[in-house]
Amino acid sequence: MKREVVERIGKLPEEYFFAYEEADFALSARCAGYKVMVEPKAHIWHKVGLSSKRTPEWTYNSYRNRFLFLKRNFVFPLNYLFTITLAIGKLVRTGPARRILVEAFIDHLKYKGVEEMHLRRIKEKYLI
């Protein structure tokens, strides 16, 4: 991408913690009038990380970042309607995934971003 894009719309949003920051950035770029494209042949290899493992920590961030994306990119009351609809749709899950969803939803309402204490709490609670 051109430097002008970052200068105009800013860097990737720091409120996210692994996931959805690229989607948020792409939507901001598109809303600013830039063309957003995908290279389907591109490959990215993570040297280290949990991005491919479905751990409780991954589940928490996945839910929380979806809620944050809706909050940042849709106007009230649509953002809350979409968030509540997503949460209700996912509540059919059972066990830890359901409890993690509720924690992510509450944290999304209380805090601007994910902090280390949130991730530490999830790790300790679900014994990662």
CB count in 10 Å sphere of residue 13? 16
Assign 35 a pLDDT band (cuts: 50, 70, 90).
very high
CA proximity to 65, closest of 104, 11, 32, 106: 104
Q: Yes or no: say if 123 and 56 are a contact pair by the CB < 8 Å rule.
A: yes
The more confident residue out of 45 and 94 is: 45
DSSP 112: S
Other beta carbons within 10 Å of 16: 21
Q: Print the domain residue range for 47.
A: 3-126
**What's this model's pTM, rounded to 2 decimal places?**
0.73
**Total count of domains within the chain:** 1
User: 125 versus 23: which is more confidently predicted?
Assistant: 23
Question: How many CA atoms within 13 Å lie on the side-chain side of 38?
Answer: 7
Tell me which residue of 32, 104, 36 sits closest to 70, measured CA to CA.
104
Angstrom distance (rounded) from CA 106 to CA 110: 6
